[in-house]
A and B are shown apart, each in its own frame.
Chain A
Amino acid sequence: MTSLLSALHSGQTPTLKRPRHALTGLCLLALANITWAAPAPELERQLAMDIGHKLIQPAYQRLAEITDHLSHDTEAYCQMAGSSLEAVQRSYRDSLNAWMRVQAINWGPAEKYNRNPSMYFWPDKKNISSRQLNTLINNADPAVLDPAAFSQASIAVSGLSAIERLLFDAPPPQPNSYRCQLLSAISANTARISQLLAAEWPAYMQQWQADSDPLKGIRLLLKSMDEIAQIISQQKLAMPMGSELSKARISRAESYRSASSLANIRANWAFITSLLQGNSDQPGLLKLISRENDELAETLRGLIFTTDHLLKAMDFTLEHAISDPEQRGKLMMLQANIDTMQSLLSADVSGTLGITLGFNSRDGD
């Protein structure tokens, strides 16, 4: 997982960071002074709730379905009941992709019981996942496999990032082994968390309806978009790329074992753009933005268009591209676009909508 913000309340994540940007707070301060007329706040409340119901709820639903497949495939494979390692690996990639569509949401149901960081823990600066998984496998304690035991488990051995290690590191898990049982238990835990996220989301949306702050929903959405843009640029791209070609390192890519790191970024980006653009049934935040500042809305549309185009032309994996001079150039362009998006969201969009984003877990360090 990564940097998750609100996370810090009684059930959530912190983050791993390090790019040293200390300017965010200053920026906030300056913008807090802006007093131009905000759009009627009840419209913002309604739009945020509609986005929650029509754009986010289906993404959670899909995550719940796909991780359920993963859990069944894993169990069948480990019990030699009709699946293959390749099929489980495919299910894994699908599950990871579905997660990355909603990874940026680290509040609401995803904040409870550390659910968000439990789904994917990264970057792992101290190699803790490997150490903890090895300890579990060496101890081979059946009690660890009990679904209830996961409420006390480390986030490094609870979700998709742990599954990826077990599924793709050599040697592959052998059916009927403890390693496979552990894999199966973690897959079931991932499916369980996903089902809870999908099930609890509608009730959470009702809290926005009742909240005294009509801007709460929009603020949370914007914070998530801003923060995931920072994470894409500063961690998911910058860490494996290094400062120059000779410093590129595959093992610092988020999901290098399954070669999914670029697919993760695509899904994270799709989260940002879907919330801005909406779909044929549901308008996104651009509707509000264009009413206040049409020029800004046009800028955002242009940026989404060029970035989508850039991503479409990337017919390679991140793991390969970081060490290829030409493809690396494309990744740098992508990074620049993401940085621009982040800057627009944190300053221009929040200012236009009259929202103060506040401190987040990526401030500072």
Chain B
Amino acid sequence: MFKPTLAVLAAGITALMPVHGFAAPQANDVLKTYADIAQAGYEDSLHTAQALQVSISKLISEPTDTNLKAARDAWIAARVPYQQTEVYRFGNSLVDDWEGKVNAWPLDEGLIDYVATDSYGAESDENPLYTANVIANAKLQLNGEELDATTIDKALLQKLHEAEEVEANVATGYHAIEFLLWGQDLNGTHPGAGNRPATDFDTKNCTGGHCDRRAQYLQAATELLIDDLQDMANSWKAEGDARKALLAKGDKDGLATILTGMGSLSYGELAGERTKLGLMLHDPEEEHDCFSDNTHWSHFYDAKGIQNVYLGEYTRVDGNTVKGPSLSDLIKAADPALDTELRGKLDTTQNAAQAMVDAAAKGHTFDVLIAANNDSGNKLVQTFVDGLVAQTQSLEKAVKIVGSGDISIEGSDSLDNPSAVQ
């Protein structure tokens, strides 16, 4: 009795009509640029994760402060390309289904290792594994059964990930690695990040207990991250599944995918869950990179990734540029004023993100900015939220343009005769 309304989508366009004298690119070329940027972004993420792995191996063989610092720096560097790929997550179901393995957040870190229970607490409504501490426990109760955790390897982490159907059981990905490199940030809303000692990995002078298992965990999580990034980098190559899935959607729905990713990341995810929620809770646990206090950069590069796909331009880690016909070119041909508006809004958001980066350089990291009674800090974060909300409103206009005849229209039953699919 109820018809599948999502079927409305099938559409095929070939030529885009310049209506204001500006020669528009082919929609298909815009999709190709979008896919090329994805491929480059995931390859860069893979390469920087491999560099992280080298640093981590060195840390484990020689657990010195210097080597710990080098591993932390490598993690921060690995976030730069990865965050710029987040805009691909929404709209591309292959990416969305995969993403939880590499960047799930927030996490109940008590699953993984020791925690300070006076601040963290000992139990949670949401999570029976809130303080399971697999590093300290070779046997765990999982989903009502005993789990042998004698060896910590990739397979074990995959079993623990989202165990008990709780998303906060994050056993893999960037944030699990982040926790192992930094430890809990016990500074509340005051300056300072996690301060795990290098000796937590020193089997001869072990602090925190079970240093061998902690090292095993860190290595297994890093190997898994590399495997997963390799999969996604492959998926955007010429014959890769993600690229093929995008192109198979046709021009109009392909463009819709780009806009869906930009709008969903801007609004619900980045402005909402990752930023405004922290502001309303005034809680240092509510920040994306809560162990490393790297949230300002993560937010900056998330926003940058949105801008990249609009402008059809990405600067790679090695300094080279991937560039091609862009959504901006298409919008400009149909509605130059909207293109100017969108570019301006994206710039405004980048400036707001830059202001958070500048504040962090002076010690005012995200967890400090969101503190209760920090009016100027709260305002800085709210400005970033406002920028994202404003750009979402412009993106909604772009959705209308792509959907209407202004960019191009080649007939399709589902679009021209909606009653046929209702």
Residues of A with Cβ closer than 8 Å to B? Answer: 3, 5, 7-10, 12-18, 20, 22-34, 36, 114, 117-118, 121, 123-128, 130-132, 134, 152-156, 242-243, 246-247, 249, 251-252, 293, 296, 299, 340, 343-344, 346-348, 351, 356, 358-365
Contact = CB atoms under 8 A, between A and B. Distances in A.
B125 A33 contact: no
Interface stretch (B87-95, B133-141, B205-213): B87-95
A125 B167 contact: yes
A365 B382 CA distance: 21
A27 B268 contact: no
A36 B420 CA distance: 13
A34 B418 contact: yes
B415 interface: yes
B165 A359 contact: no
Top 5 nearest A-B pairs (CB, nearest first) are A14-B272, A25-B260, A32-B403, A364-B264, A347-B5
**Residue among A36, A117, A130, A347 with max Cβ neighbours from chain B (10 Å):** A347
Interface stretch (B32-40, B346-354, B388-396): B388-396
Interface in B139-188: 143-144, 164-165, 167-168
Contact of B404 (A13, A14, A33, A247): A33
B406 to A, nearest CB: 11
Nearest to A346: B5
A235 to B, nearest CB: 12
Contacts of B127: 127
B132 to A, nearest CB: 15
B9 A126 contact: no
22 contacts: A14-B280, A25-B259, A26-B91, A28-B403, A29-B9, A30-B253, A124-B125, A126-B108, A127-B126, A128-B285, A131-B283, A153-B282, A243-B165, A249-B164, A343-B5, A351-B422, A356-B400, A358-B396, A359-B395, A360-B267, A361-B272, A363-B263
A156 B96 CA distance: 29
Contacts of A114: 280
Contact of A360 (B92, B268, B277): B268
B273 A14 contact: yes
Contact of B414 (A13, A30, A123): A30
Given A14-B272, A242-B165, A365-B268, A32 B285 contact: no
Contacts of A351: 418, 422
A30 B282 CA distance: 39
B293 to A, nearest CB: 17
A23 B121 CA distance: 38
Contacts of B373: 152
Contacts of B308: none
Contacts of A123: 126
Given A126-B285, A340-B2, A26 B256 contact: yes
Given A17-B268, A125-B106, A128-B285, A9 B386 contact: yes
Contact of A128 (B271, B281, B372): B281
A358 B1 CA distance: 26
Interface in B370-414: 372-373, 382, 385-386, 388-389, 392, 395-396, 399-400, 402-405, 409, 414
B268 A362 contact: yes
B404 A16 contact: no
A27 B281 contact: no
Contacts of A27: 5-6, 8-9
B273 A29 contact: no
Contacts of A249: 128, 164
Contacts of A29: 9, 252-253, 256, 259-260, 399, 402-403
Given A22-B91, A27-B6, A127-B124, A363 B268 contact: yes
B276 interface: yes
B415 A131 contact: no
B11 interface: yes
Given A22-B92, A31-B403, A361-B268, A131 B280 contact: no
**Residue among A13, A117, A131, A363 with max Cβ neighbours from chain B (10 Å):** A363
B286 interface: yes
Interface string B99-134: 000000010100000000001110111111010000
A339 B276 CA distance: 28
B257 interface: yes
A347 B267 CA distance: 20
Nearest to A302: B1
Contacts of B143: 246-247
A343 B388 CA distance: 27
Interface in B351-376: 372-373
A351 B8 CA distance: 11
Contacts of A127: 121, 123-127, 130
